[in-house]
Chains A and B, each alone.
Chain A
């Protein structure tokens, strides 16, 4: 009885305010889906970062006879003595997780494997410049972010070292791009959420004005505040819920189309799971209900006093 009455009132309210309701739903839907996209981005970037964290390495390339970098041009190809010196030097740096020597022939083999689908290139290289592929030390650090720069500066210029390549500097650019995209999405979402809040307030105000006769009579015959306010509150919440449902659809679509195609660029280990998506959708729902509910409530306190 009570529930049926309240729902009837809500339905009347939503229908009378159709344009405002639709505007509200659209804005809530878009802001929630942008917020959700932002959150998915955050997850993607975090996942990618931690995946790489355990894999990034420093490559210390050693001199070949024809290399020009570092001390190579002066001293020529690395000597076994220099190699041992470099290795000892690296091992003294206490926070090294692993160190691996990749000889020239191993490097060539790796090259063959990585470019297996480009046989022309492989053939050309092996034939003419196999001797130019440098041997190297592949180093993993315990704490890459903190120590990579230090190791790099020590190694650069050491005798027999041609070049030091720090993977993180490559990744940093990728991160910057992703972080920028994420921030842009989140900022837009916040602006839209503010718009949604104002729209909710306005919709409730209009609705309260439209139904001032009903509410004045309700107060007169002694309806409790809860009863007077519930239809309005429910109106805001239902609009929010519908907006959230639309946003859920958009988010699933966004994950399928946008993020999945982005993921083809990323390594396989960091795909976003369905659980991630569900989590984001739940966060969006809570945000939507909270925004619509609390705004309705606060607006009502101003316009429906006893």
Chain B
């Protein structure tokens, strides 16, 4: 599903590469934690998958597409197959729960009938029944992140990228968020989650890829956050 072949990314005006010679494969339906300290290259990895950045060298395939060959005007179609969740939720403050989720479908031109059908379904999936008319500022952090997840998932993407989705949320609420991510993963969606949260990584026992200074230093199935052999 995601294939990195010897990928190096160096940002302009920076000496050290943000990612250096990274080669890895993420299979369809996998759940992968991306761990490592700040600046280790987790966000760069996610940005490369979305083609928000181009690699300095190396090849990237996402959902069977060679990103180097993907023309600019086809990038939106790639992104329709990838859902994204962020630490800061990125909801539209002037739209309610339902409108925030529907927005993601409206802007890719889905018919209204389809939107009316799938948005309530996904609201149920993330556990926000009965809150569809709330505005973002009337929701807790956990609830806002659920809305963001619903928005990321409503178009049934093949891949869900989550960049520290529990970074702004207390540990108790984080468990609920992880349950939703797990539920999404069980529908067959590949999930890649960058995180600092050791407790979550340890409790899920999923594949763990650890980055340090832009290099993969560990790739372990059913791993934990810290080094534990």
Minimum C-beta distance from A218 to chain B (A):
5
Minimum C-beta distance from B202 to chain A (A):
30
A81 at the interface (CB under 8 A from B): no
B160-193 CB contact bits vs A (8 Å, 1 = yes)? Answer: 0000000000000000000000000000000000
A192-228 CB contact bits vs B (8 Å, 1 = yes)? Answer: 0000000000000000000001101111111111011
In contact, A222 and B112 (Cβ under 8 angstroms) = no
In contact, A213 and B80 (Cβ under 8 angstroms) = no
Query: Given contacts A214-B92, A227-B109, are A220 and B78 in contact (CB under 8 A)?
Result: no
Q: Which single member of B50, B73, B81, B112 contacts A225 (CB below 8 Å)?
A: B73
Measured between beta carbons, the chain A residues less than 8 angstroms from B75 are 306
Query: Given contacts A306-B72, A306-B75, are A221 and B108 in contact (CB under 8 A)?
Result: yes
In contact, B79 and A220 (Cβ under 8 angstroms) = yes
B68-95 CB contact bits vs A (8 Å, 1 = yes)? Answer: 0000110111111110100000101100
Q: How far is the CA of A304 from the CA of B107 in the complex (A)?
A: 15
Query: Given contacts A217-B103, A306-B72, are A223 and B92 in contact (CB under 8 A)?
Result: no
Q: Which residue of A lies closest to B110 (CB)?
A: A1
In contact, A221 and B79 (Cβ under 8 angstroms) = yes
In contact, B106 and A219 (Cβ under 8 angstroms) = no
Q: Residues of B within 8 Å of A, CB-based: how many?
A: 26
Q: Which residue of B lies closest to A220 (CB)?
A: B84
Q: How far is the CA of A220 from the CA of B91 in the complex (A)?
A: 12
Q: Which single member of A5, A218, A220, A222 contacts B77 (CB below 8 Å)?
A: A222
Q: Which single member of B73, B76, B109 contacts A2 (CB below 8 Å)?
A: B109
Query: Given contacts A2-B109, A213-B90, are A221 and B73 in contact (CB under 8 A)?
Result: no
B63 at the interface (CB under 8 A from A): no
Measured between beta carbons, the chain B residues less than 8 angstroms from A213 are 90, 92-93
In contact, A1 and B112 (Cβ under 8 angstroms) = yes
B86-121 CB contact bits vs A (8 Å, 1 = yes)? Answer: 000010110000000001101111011000000000
Measured between beta carbons, the chain B residues less than 8 angstroms from A5 are 106-107
Query: Given contacts A217-B103, A306-B72, A306-B75, are A223 and B90 in contact (CB under 8 A)?
Result: no
Q: Which single member of B50, B76, B81, B90 contacts A217 (CB below 8 Å)?
A: B90
A interface SS class: helix
Query: Given contacts A214-B92, A216-B90, are A221 and B107 in contact (CB under 8 A)?
Result: yes
Measured between beta carbons, the chain B residues less than 8 angstroms from A222 are 76-82, 108, 155
Q: Which single member of A1, A2, A216, A217 contacts B104 (CB below 8 Å)?
A: A217
Q: How far is the CA of A118 from the CA of B13 in the complex (A)?
A: 91
Q: How far is the CA of A5 from the CA of B109 in the complex (A)?
A: 9
Measured between beta carbons, the chain B residues less than 8 angstroms from A220 are 50, 79, 84, 90
B42 at the interface (CB under 8 A from A): no
Q: How far is the CA of A228 from the CA of B108 in the complex (A)?
A: 10
Minimum C-beta distance from B37 to chain A (A):
26
Minimum C-beta distance from A301 to chain B (A):
12
B207 at the interface (CB under 8 A from A): no
In contact, B73 and A223 (Cβ under 8 angstroms) = no
In contact, B92 and A218 (Cβ under 8 angstroms) = no
Minimum C-beta distance from A221 to chain B (A):
4
Q: How far is the CA of A306 from the CA of B72 in the complex (A)?
A: 7
Q: How far is the CA of A199 from the CA of B108 in the complex (A)?
A: 30
In contact, B108 and A227 (Cβ under 8 angstroms) = yes
Can you report 13 residue pairs joining A to B where beta carbons are below 8 Å apart? A1-B109, A213-B90, A217-B104, A218-B107, A219-B79, A220-B84, A221-B84, A221-B107, A221-B151, A221-B152, A222-B155, A223-B107, A306-B76
Q: Which residues of A contact B (CB under 8 A)?
A: 1-2, 5, 213-214, 216-225, 227-228, 306
